[in-house]
Amino acid sequence: MMQSLWAFIREKIPFAMTGLVATGINYGMYLFLVDRVLPPGPATVVAYSSSVILNFFLQRYFVFELRRSLRSAFVLSMGVSVVGLFLDWLIVVGLHRFPLFGDQEWIIKLVATGIVFFYNFYAKRRVFEGPRRAIVDGGRRRAGAGSGPKAASSPETLDDHLLSPPDGDTTQKTQA
Protein backbone atom coordinates (compact mmCIF):
# COMPACT_ATOMS: atom_id res chain seq x y z
CA MET A 1 0.00 0.00 0.00
CA MET A 2 2.66 2.52 1.00
CA GLN A 3 4.88 1.47 -1.90
CA SER A 4 2.08 2.03 -4.42
CA LEU A 5 1.24 5.38 -2.78
CA TRP A 6 4.89 6.39 -2.99
CA ALA A 7 5.04 5.31 -6.66
CA PHE A 8 1.88 7.34 -7.32
CA ILE A 9 3.51 10.43 -5.79
CA ARG A 10 6.98 9.94 -7.31
CA GLU A 11 5.63 9.71 -10.82
CA LYS A 12 4.09 13.17 -10.45
CA ILE A 13 7.11 14.99 -8.97
CA PRO A 14 8.72 16.08 -12.28
CA PHE A 15 5.30 17.14 -13.55
CA ALA A 16 4.73 19.10 -10.34
CA MET A 17 8.13 20.83 -10.61
CA THR A 18 7.57 21.99 -14.20
CA GLY A 19 4.02 22.86 -13.27
CA LEU A 20 5.33 24.94 -10.38
CA VAL A 21 7.19 27.19 -12.81
CA ALA A 22 4.13 27.56 -15.04
CA THR A 23 1.89 28.02 -12.02
CA GLY A 24 4.13 30.81 -10.74
CA ILE A 25 3.58 32.62 -14.03
CA ASN A 26 -0.13 31.84 -13.91
CA TYR A 27 -0.53 33.09 -10.31
CA GLY A 28 1.66 36.16 -10.79
CA MET A 29 -0.15 37.30 -13.90
CA TYR A 30 -3.57 36.49 -12.45
CA LEU A 31 -3.01 38.40 -9.22
CA PHE A 32 -1.50 41.37 -11.08
CA LEU A 33 -4.32 41.48 -13.63
CA VAL A 34 -7.17 40.98 -11.15
CA ASP A 35 -5.68 43.68 -8.88
CA ARG A 36 -5.10 46.31 -11.58
CA VAL A 37 -6.67 45.53 -14.93
CA LEU A 38 -9.29 42.80 -15.35
CA PRO A 39 -12.11 41.04 -13.50
CA PRO A 40 -11.42 37.46 -12.29
CA GLY A 41 -12.82 35.59 -15.34
CA PRO A 42 -10.78 37.34 -18.06
CA ALA A 43 -7.72 37.54 -15.79
CA THR A 44 -7.89 33.75 -15.43
CA VAL A 45 -8.00 33.28 -19.20
CA VAL A 46 -4.98 35.54 -19.83
CA ALA A 47 -2.89 34.14 -16.97
CA TYR A 48 -3.64 30.48 -17.69
CA SER A 49 -3.02 30.88 -21.41
CA SER A 50 0.35 32.55 -20.87
CA SER A 51 1.64 29.64 -18.84
CA VAL A 52 0.43 26.89 -21.20
CA ILE A 53 3.08 27.23 -23.92
CA LEU A 54 5.95 27.40 -21.44
CA ASN A 55 4.55 24.37 -19.67
CA PHE A 56 4.34 22.36 -22.92
CA PHE A 57 8.05 22.77 -23.60
CA LEU A 58 9.03 22.08 -19.99
CA GLN A 59 6.96 18.88 -20.00
CA ARG A 60 8.37 17.81 -23.35
CA TYR A 61 11.96 18.04 -22.14
CA PHE A 62 11.69 17.12 -18.45
CA VAL A 63 8.59 15.01 -17.82
CA PHE A 64 7.22 12.87 -20.62
CA GLU A 65 8.69 10.76 -23.40
CA LEU A 66 7.40 12.07 -26.73
CA ARG A 67 5.95 9.16 -28.72
CA ARG A 68 4.27 11.09 -31.50
CA SER A 69 5.17 14.03 -33.73
CA LEU A 70 5.94 17.30 -32.00
CA ARG A 71 3.23 19.02 -34.01
CA SER A 72 0.47 16.58 -33.05
CA ALA A 73 1.61 16.56 -29.41
CA PHE A 74 1.51 20.37 -29.38
CA VAL A 75 -1.97 20.54 -30.93
CA LEU A 76 -3.35 17.85 -28.60
CA SER A 77 -1.64 19.46 -25.61
CA MET A 78 -3.23 22.80 -26.46
CA GLY A 79 -6.61 21.04 -26.66
CA VAL A 80 -6.07 19.54 -23.21
CA SER A 81 -5.04 22.98 -21.98
CA VAL A 82 -8.20 24.60 -23.37
CA VAL A 83 -10.30 22.11 -21.41
CA GLY A 84 -8.08 22.78 -18.36
CA LEU A 85 -8.61 26.51 -18.85
CA PHE A 86 -12.36 25.99 -18.93
CA LEU A 87 -12.21 23.93 -15.73
CA ASP A 88 -9.96 26.53 -14.07
CA TRP A 89 -12.25 29.37 -15.13
CA LEU A 90 -15.38 27.49 -14.04
CA ILE A 91 -13.91 26.79 -10.59
CA VAL A 92 -12.62 30.35 -10.07
CA VAL A 93 -15.85 32.01 -11.15
CA GLY A 94 -17.93 29.44 -9.26
CA LEU A 95 -16.04 29.87 -5.99
CA HIS A 96 -16.51 33.65 -6.19
CA ARG A 97 -20.22 32.99 -5.74
CA PHE A 98 -19.68 31.51 -2.27
CA PRO A 99 -19.60 34.13 0.50
CA LEU A 100 -17.04 32.03 2.38
CA PHE A 101 -14.45 32.56 -0.36
CA GLY A 102 -15.62 35.96 -1.61
CA ASP A 103 -12.43 37.88 -2.33
CA GLN A 104 -9.92 35.30 -1.08
CA GLU A 105 -8.11 35.10 -4.43
CA TRP A 106 -5.24 32.95 -3.13
CA ILE A 107 -7.55 30.27 -1.76
CA ILE A 108 -9.78 30.29 -4.82
CA LYS A 109 -6.84 29.95 -7.20
CA LEU A 110 -5.24 27.25 -5.03
CA VAL A 111 -8.40 25.12 -5.12
CA ALA A 112 -8.72 25.54 -8.89
CA THR A 113 -5.04 24.72 -9.44
CA GLY A 114 -5.22 21.58 -7.29
CA ILE A 115 -8.15 20.16 -9.18
CA VAL A 116 -6.82 21.04 -12.64
CA PHE A 117 -3.38 19.58 -11.73
CA PHE A 118 -4.65 15.98 -11.77
CA TYR A 119 -6.70 16.46 -14.91
CA ASN A 120 -3.65 17.94 -16.67
CA PHE A 121 -1.25 15.21 -15.51
CA TYR A 122 -3.27 12.30 -16.83
CA ALA A 123 -4.43 14.03 -20.00
CA LYS A 124 -0.95 15.33 -20.89
CA ARG A 125 0.66 11.96 -20.16
CA ARG A 126 -1.75 10.45 -22.67
CA VAL A 127 -0.93 13.19 -25.21
CA PHE A 128 2.84 12.74 -24.96
CA GLU A 129 3.12 9.00 -24.37
CA GLY A 130 -0.05 7.55 -25.87
CA PRO A 131 -2.26 4.96 -24.22
CA ARG A 132 -0.80 2.95 -21.38
CA ARG A 133 -1.22 -0.80 -21.45
CA ALA A 134 -1.49 -3.02 -18.44
CA ILE A 135 1.57 -4.97 -17.31
CA VAL A 136 1.15 -8.34 -15.63
CA ASP A 137 3.51 -8.69 -12.69
CA GLY A 138 3.17 -11.57 -10.27
CA GLY A 139 -0.45 -12.20 -11.22
CA ARG A 140 -1.74 -8.66 -10.70
CA ARG A 141 -2.43 -6.05 -13.34
CA ARG A 142 -1.24 -2.48 -13.13
CA ALA A 143 -0.76 0.49 -15.41
CA GLY A 144 2.29 0.07 -17.55
CA ALA A 145 4.35 1.77 -20.18
CA GLY A 146 2.92 3.05 -23.42
CA SER A 147 3.41 1.51 -26.80
CA GLY A 148 6.59 3.27 -27.97
CA PRO A 149 9.74 1.33 -28.86
CA LYS A 150 11.39 2.19 -25.57
CA ALA A 151 8.25 1.36 -23.60
CA ALA A 152 8.51 -2.42 -23.75
CA SER A 153 11.77 -2.45 -21.85
CA SER A 154 11.24 0.68 -19.75
CA PRO A 155 10.04 0.34 -16.17
CA GLU A 156 6.76 2.13 -15.59
CA THR A 157 7.63 3.69 -12.24
CA LEU A 158 10.75 5.08 -10.67
CA ASP A 159 10.54 2.36 -8.02
CA ASP A 160 10.72 -0.29 -10.75
CA HIS A 161 13.72 1.49 -12.26
CA LEU A 162 15.54 1.55 -8.93
CA LEU A 163 14.73 -2.09 -8.24
CA SER A 164 15.46 -3.47 -11.73
CA PRO A 165 18.72 -5.32 -12.36
CA PRO A 166 21.62 -3.20 -13.64
CA ASP A 167 21.76 -5.04 -16.96
CA GLY A 168 18.19 -3.88 -17.70
CA ASP A 169 16.79 -7.43 -17.71
CA THR A 170 13.04 -6.99 -17.25
CA THR A 171 11.99 -10.40 -18.52
CA GLN A 172 9.92 -11.00 -15.39
CA LYS A 173 7.39 -8.49 -16.69
CA THR A 174 5.33 -9.60 -19.63
CA GLN A 175 2.91 -7.43 -21.55
CA ALA A 176 -0.73 -8.40 -21.49
Chain segment 14-54, per-residue pLDDT in tens: 888 998 898 899 889 999 999 999 998 899 888 888 888 88
Task: Pinpoint the alpha helices (H) of 63-176.
Answer: 70-95, 105-129, 158-163
pLDDT beyond 70 at 149:
no
Q: Each residue of 67-97: b (16+ CB within 10 Å) or e?
A: beeeeebbebbeebbeebbebbbebbeebbe
Q: pTM above the 0.75 mark?
A: no
Residue 172 DSSP class:
T
* Per-residue pLDDT tens digits for 129-146: 888 765 444 444 444 444
Length of the chain: 176
Least confident of 90-94, 139-143, 147-151: 147-151
